[in-house]
Structure 1
Amino acid sequence: MSKLAMNLSAAVIALVVALPVQAQDTPDAGTVVATVNGTEITLGHMLMVRAGLPEQYQQLPTDVLWDGIMNQLVQQEVLSQSDDAKETFRVRVAIENERRALLASEALAALAQQPVSDEALQAAYEAKYASADMGKEFNASHILVETEEEAAALVAELEGGADFAELAKEKSTGPSGPNGGELGWFGPGMMVAPFQAAVEKMEIGAVSAPVETQFGWHVIKLNESREMDAPTLDSVRDELTGEVQQQVVADLITSLTEEATVTQLAKDEIDTNVLQNLDLLEN
């Protein structure tokens, strides 16, 4: 070998040695990690199994996951190559359904990546809240006792001029008692149904007849009520973004379906009970 060739060879070797190991052989999804009778199992296959694992398994150390996933794929491959493995009609239609579902999921994922414009959000906000009746919210106080008789006696005392807040401090078994029974502001659905229904029928300043709930018997005083304001756009931005995206998906599905050539067997042309006959998959 000439001196020049020897120098070149030494330079190449030095360059290769100097390269980081990762740069020389960086694995990707196509990296073959095993072969079974010539059939390749790739890192991509392992990653797909990893992605589909239940959450409790996802937390395992990677060396444990590697062994488990590798063993699963090798075992599945040797079984799939065995004489007893037949690509039956059941297998074929299952593969077709899985492929269809995965491709549909890819289409939905692509739509989900598309940003929702401020104009679309504003339009959705106005459509939902601009003229919506948000209902009322209420400010009330109550006295909670164990029996109807106790509640009725309290009503009689209040009708006789007793102070509601003082009675609440003295008699109420609820956590609001020390605060004079004050509950603050609450909107629809925030109180148990019998309590909410009673409040919604009351006049400002009125005291209710005894009201029973699972907590006991209540005597209620309605202090104030007011119309609820619509939420701000920022407070419902995430909610509206999801709704707009859902509508985009629905509109696209409708559009694609209308453009497609679709033929369907009418239900009156077939006995729908045939869906119970899973034996047909064995043909």
Structure 2
Amino acid sequence: MRLSQLAAAALLTSATFLPLHGHAADEADPVVATVAGVEIHASELTLAESDLDPQFAQMPAEQRRVAALAAVIDIKTLARKAEAEKLDQTDEFKKLMTFQRDRALHNALFRATVVDPVSDADIKARYDKEIAATPPEEEINARHILLKTEEEARAVIAELDGGKDFAELAKEKSTGPSAAQGGELGFFTKGRMVPEFEAVAFTLETGDYAREPVKTQFGWHVIKVEERRQTAPPEFEAVADQVRQLVMRERYGDLIRAARAETEIEVLDPDLKTSYETLSQQQQQ
């Protein structure tokens, strides 16, 4: 559950936020408040800030800090009351704490062995590997004039044969959404257009138009190719974050597979056993 206590939310409407002053002299992790004598350290505010409701992300830093303080005070106040009512001694609570501890350790190991070790050099190396394994594709920049009937399409081709400008005819006669742009479709690779359209488009030379109309589910097309080129790979800076996620996913997968291989795992529920084994096989592949 994210921290979205009423006390923190109320701070959104407050006009003035006073600076916080710790009661202890610990410069590394000062005490910023106490609740019934229990110290609240600056490090706890940092943890709380990372778990605040997303609405607080747009707040100024000092306001987020006060919101985090209010949340921590509320948590410790109610935690003290829960302890007084012995809720920390219930089986449900103990099971929850065991799960939370395991998850926290999982996250700590993930950060220490997967997230933190990933360097910029690792990301660049993986980017280069992906680019090398992805050959460039041919793409074309084409225009088309979409018409309702074959007769209309052939009449347009006759006008083109007579020297009329393709873009002007598209603006005048095309029924497609690209008419206002002179029929321009921009660059596209194979597989982006309906098969009948691209089967003809990719056979045309640069600057040439099809002498036969092309029928698709949308109507009759007159097609012209303006330019041909090879696709360029994305710039490293544009995809660096995606590549980083890819590297971390792979390293996490390696970590999990190694840990499972050295750990005895037995699923007792028959239905879950079958499903888990299927999932594990898929993950291995």
Counterpart check, 1:257 vs 2:256:
no
Q: Which residue of 1 aligns with 2:104?
A: 102
Q: Which residue of 2 aligns with 1:165?
A: 167
What TM-score do the two structures reach when normalised by structure 2? 0.64
Q: TM-score, normalised by structure 1?
A: 0.64
Contact 1:198 1:208 in 2 (8 A): no
Further displaced range: 158-167 or 247-256: 158-167
Between the two proteins, the alignment pairs up a number of residues equal to 236
Quick check: 2:145–2:176 contact (8 Å CA) kept in 1?
Answer: yes
Aligned residue among 144, 167, 187 for 2:189? 187
Distance 1:45 1:249 in 2: 28
Query: Any gaps of 5 or more consecutive residues in structure 1?
Result: 1-20, 273-283
Residue 56 (structure 1) aligns with: 55
Q: Alpha-carbon deviation of 1:71?
A: 3.1
Residue number in structure 2 paired with 1:241: 244
2:154 counterpart of 1:156? yes
Once the two structures are TM-superposed, the CA of residue 165 in structure 1 deviates from its matched residue by 3.1
Distance in structure 1 (CA, Å) of the matches to 2:120 and 2:29: 35
Paired letter, 1:143: I
CA–CA separation in structure 2 for the residues paired with 1:57 and 1:117:
30
Q: What RMSD over aligned residues (CA atoms) do the two structures have, in Å?
A: 3.8
Aligned 8 A contact 2:141 2:228 in 1:
yes
Provide the rounded CA distance (Å) in 2 between the counterparts of 1:174 and 1:256.
Answer: 57
**Structure 2 counterparts to residues 1-283 of structure 1, below 5 A:** 25=25, 29=29, 31=31, 33-36=33-36, 40-43=38-41, 44-58=43-57, 59=59, 61=63, 62-63=65-66, 65-83=68-86, 85-110=87-112, 111-116=114-119, 118=121, 121-122=124-125, 124-125=126-127, 127-144=129-146, 148-149=148-149, 152-162=150-160, 163=164, 164-172=166-174, 176-177=178-179, 180-187=182-189, 195-202=193-200, 203-204=203-204, 205-206=209-210, 208-212=213-217, 219-223=221-225, 224-231=227-234, 236-258=239-261, 260-268=262-270
Q: Cα distance, 1:246 vs. partner?
A: 2.5
Q: In 1, Cα distance between the equivalents of 2:119 and 2:170? A: 51
Partner Cα separation in structure 1 for residue 73 and residue 167 of structure 2: 71
Corresponding residue for residue 17 of structure 1: none
1:141·1:183 contact (CA, 8 Å) conserved in 2?
yes
Residue 54 of structure 1 deviates from its aligned partner by 0.6
Equivalent residues of 2:123, 2:240 under 8 A apart: no
CA distance in 1, matches of 2:33, 2:122: 49
The structure-2 alpha-carbon separation of the partners of 1:270 and 1:181, relative to structure 1 and needing over 3 Å to count, comes to closer
Cα distance between partner residues in 2 of 1:54 and 1:143: 51
Instruction: List 4+ stretches of structure 1 deviating above 6 A.
Output: 21-24, 269-272
User: Does structure 1 conserve the Cα–Cα contact (< 8 Å) formed by 2:141 and 2:186?
Assistant: yes
Per the TM alignment, residue 221 of structure 1 is displaced from its structure 2 partner at its CA by 0.8
Cα distance change, pair 46–128 in 1 and its aligned pair in 2 (3 A)? closer
Per-residue deviation, 1:136:
3.0
Aligned partners of 2:24 and 2:31 also within 8 Å: no
Query: What is residue 15 of structure 2 aligned with on the other side?
Result: none
Return the index of the structure with the highest Cα Rg. 1
Quote the Cα distance in structure 1 between the aligned partners of 2:96 and 2:24: 41
Alignment check: 8 A CA contact 2:144 2:185 kept: yes
Q: 1:54 to 1:199 in 2, by over 3 A?
A: same
Could you tell me which runs of 5 or more consecutive residues in structure 2 were left unpaired when the two chains were aligned: 1-20, 275-285
Task: Name the CA distance, whole Å, in 1 between partners of 2:182 and 2:127.
Answer: 40
